[in-house]
Amino acid sequence: MTDDVVPADDLDGAAAFVVDQVHADLARDITGEARLIRDVLEHEISELRGDPQLLELLGASVEGNVTTFLQVVHDGVSTAQLQAPTAAIDYARHLARTAAPVTALVRAYRLGYNTFMDRVYGRMALLDVDPALRLPVFHRIHQVGSSYIDWVSETVVREYQEERERWLSHRDAQRAHHIRQILTGPDDIDPTTASATLDYGLDRTHRAVIAWITDTAVREAHNLTREVRSHAERSGATAAALVVPVDDRTVWAWFPVAGDHRGPHDGAGPVPGPPATPGIRLALGAAHAGLAGFRRSHREATEARRIASLAGGDGAGTVDYTAPGVAIAAQLTREPTAVDDWVARVLGDLARPSEQAERLRVTLREFLRRNGSHKATAAALHLHPNTIKYRVAAAERALGAPLPSHRLDVEVALLVTQWRRPG
């Protein structure tokens, strides 16, 4: 204990006395105090571990905040007159360029503050402070400290978020540039170097994805990224997807799959289902291996997206290049006017843009896909077999010619109309 005594009727004086004593104590080894708090944060918050440079910056940030905090409490400086410690800003910006979430930064400030206040209270126990004043003094210091921590936390979080947006934008722009070079560049691109640049192995089997938002979607890029990653997980991805925004409404992505990958349309792969977020659409390429496969799957995803646009805004949320009819529709719809004329010639009245014609087209397409079985078609469409017989007969009348005489043309035309609206 010391010989100093604080007057019992002077709360401000008592607070100033305690801070003076604590400050004098800390000033002898403020770096050591900061290191102690840093060690607590490193131990308790896993996201802050591992990088020696970041840990050094964390220590400097803690030291800067302790010094500024004591100044605020001792001198009664308003936060409006303060600037956040330079080291604290530097640390927030560096942390933004890592995988650590902003919640780790916020938690570090609260935990660091609590740890420091425990140290303050421990020193108060050694001072000759009137017992009646000890709690009010501590409460006064805590009030000022909380105000400071709230202010500095908001400041560094804002710096973190701004830096992260800049960093991600720069990183994504560089990645998009490298990917365009890979997609359009020469065949002798070194896959090892390209893989290192993208942080994604090009020696694997890939499926490409193009995700985009419609006019009715919530236009937030993270929704697209989240949707693509979710789809990749549900589709049997063997590692994390490579996702790169190419504009404010579109992302390109690739995810690795097993070498013997079989998709849902092969009857063996998982069925991922439509996007969970309304207004988001996905187009997928087939699985292909290596650098050539990386490019080919993206070309197929691009074709699937084109087919999705032909199908209209309320079409399927996911268009898979491996789905029946998509690949052939992609090839046949490059000259849309010629294709429309051919479809109209083959299908006759069945090509009309009406609900009744669409019902007959769907029925006939499923009927042909199931080898002319009324029973199997009825099960697939959840209808009575007699309904299927009636519709098939009506479809043949609309064709204007017996089905067996040009079955192949009819099947192809029906596949095209599945992905391209007549009319």
Among candidate residues 183, 170, 403, the one with its CA nearest the CA of residue 301: 183
- 111: pLDDT strictly greater than 90: yes
Distances (CA, A) of 39 to 34, 55, 59, 172: 9, 9, 9, 34
As a whole number of angstroms, the distance between CA 319 and CA 299 comes to: 14
Domain with residue 151: its CATH number is: 1.10.490
* pLDDT for position 14: 67
As a whole number of angstroms, the distance between CA 9 and CA 204 comes to: 76
Task: Give the percent of the chain with pLDDT over 90.
Answer: 23
As a whole number of angstroms, the distance between CA 62 and CA 31 comes to: 9
- 159: pLDDT strictly greater than 60: yes
Say yes or no: 93 and 137 in one domain: yes
* pLDDT for position 3: 44
Domain with residue 343: its CATH number is: 1.10.10.2840
Of the candidates 118, 152, 167, which is a domain's last residue? 167
As a whole number of angstroms, the distance between CA 284 and CA 267 comes to: 17
* pLDDT for position 1: 39
* pLDDT for position 109: 92
Contacts of residue 363, Cβ cutoff 8 Å, sequence gap at least 6 = 377, 381, 388, 391, 392, 395
Say yes or no: 215 and 282 in one domain: yes
In this prediction, residue 284 has a pLDDT band, given cuts at 50, 70 and 90, of very high
Say yes or no: 219 and 99 in one domain: no
What would the pLDDT profile of 28-73 be if each residue is shown by its tens digit? 777 888 888 988 998 899 888 767 778 888 889 998 998 888 777 7
Say yes or no: 307 and 352 in one domain: no
Q: Which of 134-143, 203-212, 367-376 has the lowest mean pLDDT?
A: 134-143
Distance of CA 390 to the CA centre of its chain: 49
Average pLDDT over residues 113-120: 86
Say yes or no: 355 and 312 in one domain: no
Task: Answer yes or no: is 183 within a domain.
Answer: no
Say yes or no: 319 and 350 in one domain: no
Average pLDDT over residues 146-169: 89
* pLDDT for position 340: 79
As a whole number of angstroms, the longest Cα–Cα distance in the chain is 113
In this prediction, residue 332 has a pLDDT band, given cuts at 50, 70 and 90, of confident
> What mean pLDDT is reported for the chain?
81
As a whole number of angstroms, the distance between CA 297 and CA 242 comes to: 14
Q: Which of 161-175, 243-257, 314-328 has the lowest mean pLDDT?
A: 314-328
Residue 370, token pair as written in the block? 């199931």
Structural domain of 389: 334-419
Residue ranges in 45-85 assigned as alpha helix (H): 52-75
Query: In degrees rounded to 5, what are phi and psi of residue 64?
Result: -65, -40
Of the candidates 323, 344, 374, which is a domain's last residue? 323
Task: Answer yes or no: is 3 within a domain.
Answer: no
* pLDDT for position 8: 46
State the CB neighbour count (10 A cutoff) for residue 289: 17
Query: According to the per-residue pLDDT averaged within each range, which of 215-229, 243-257, 308-322 is highest?
Result: 243-257
In this prediction, residue 270 has a pLDDT band, given cuts at 50, 70 and 90, of low
Say yes or no: 319 and 378 in one domain: no
Say yes or no: 141 and 219 in one domain: no
Count of domains forming the chain = 3
Helix H or strand E encompassing 263: none
As a whole number of angstroms, the distance between CA 31 and CA 39 comes to: 12
Distances (CA, A) of 415 to 132, 140, 223, 274, 373: 87, 76, 32, 21, 18
Total-model pTM: 0.56
As a whole number of angstroms, the distance between CA 160 and CA 106 comes to: 11
What would the pLDDT profile of 166-188 be if each residue is shown by its tens digit? 887 787 888 888 898 888 877 77
Query: According to the per-residue pLDDT averaged within each range, which of 11-20, 74-83, 180-189, 237-246 is highest?
Result: 237-246
In this prediction, residue 6 has a pLDDT band, given cuts at 50, 70 and 90, of very low
